[in-house]
Amino acid sequence: MKYLKYYISPLTIITAIYTCSIGAYYSTLFFIGFSLFIILGDMILKKDASEETYSYVFLLDVPMYINLPLLMLLVLFTVFALSSDPSDLFQSIFMNYLNIDLFNMRQSMNVADSISLVALTGLFIGIMGTVPGHELVHRKKNKFDMFMGNWLLAFSWDCAFAIEHVYGHHKNVGLGHDPATAKRGENIYLFILRAIIKEQKDAWSIELNQAKRREQSFISIRNRMIIGYFRSLFITFIAYLIGGISGTLIFLLCAFIAKSLLEVINYSEHYGLIRVSGETVSPRHSWNSNSTMSSIYLYNVTRHSSHHEKANLKYWELRSYNDAPMMPQGYLTMLYMALFLPYFFHRMMAKKLIEWDKNYATDNERILAIEQNKKSGIPLLINHT
């Protein structure tokens, strides 16, 4: 069971494709059901603080690898279902090999189903693509894992993440100039835009500096940003072959949703936490979570305090750190709250930040925290100063 639980991710993609293909309202019901499955599972199930040892670690990598072809299938499934000029060949392949009638599905789709299918695909690219991609691109000495990780990130047009996150964010977490660390009271929607733009700029800067050290032109096959864009362009081209211009736009929308959801997760993972420049990154500089369902689906990225303390650890090696600052809810709950109920998110996190200032922050961090509290616009934090 300790191996099998991580196979729930690819199994969910397969289930989603077959369920959404049944007909009217199934895409909507699956999106709602999946969200409730994660949220209620995190609330009901006991927190998972176990730290297992594994003899067959390759079996823990396999589900991440499987996600790559399955995500491609899901993306093309969505592109076909919602495009105005779908490919007859693709429909024949689905019918002959998967026994799925895409034509009848297209005929039964309504507006709610269309919105739900795009939202679900964007969410799955984030959960089943970006998260395992994040895990794999940290393995800098393993060429195959880097290859798979970068292709998983290509679904969200996020080659910058493999560079900026590994070489930038892990060094700058908690500092004012880190694009993935949200300040107290920061607007979530402005944060998403700021983070996306700055991550791209920082990734290009890192890549250009490395090219200079190698004494190479930045326009080369060794430029990871350029190669990354070509990966995403390839997937976009396949979407065009399946669904024409409208199919291309549908894929790009799903990719943007996935990238935005990543930034919401970044927002939640480090919201309001502060580090003094030059000080070591510690478990206290990330919001940790041991919520069971989130941990299984997100390959323990929920154990974020341990991940930032030692970024070289594999996901099954991460420690649970019950004494680290904890997220008040599971990951998907925090994501939906930050995105759709930001007022309540800020109120809930204000109490956690006051607790962090008191129990975790150093004296120098408290000085910086007071400055952020005054600018936060949150009465509870302003009064706390």
Please write down the HEC assignment for all residues of 137-178.
Answer: HCCCCCHHHHHHHHHHHHCCCCHHHHHHHHHHHHHHCCCCCC
Name the 3-class secondary structure at 192. Answer: helix
For residue 177, give both structure tokens. 């100039």
Residue 295 Cα distances to 12, 48, 211, 365, angstroms: 15, 8, 37, 29
pLDDT at 87: 77
pLDDT above 70 for 162: yes
For residue 136, give both structure tokens. 């794999």
pLDDT in tens, 25-68: 999 999 999 999 999 999 999 998 988 999 999 999 999 999 99
Q: What is the mean pLDDT of the segment spanning 291-304?
A: 96
pLDDT at 90: 81
pTM of the full structure: 0.94
Question: Can you tell me the distance from the alpha carbon of 48 to that of 26, in angstroms, rounded to the nearest whole number?
Answer: 32
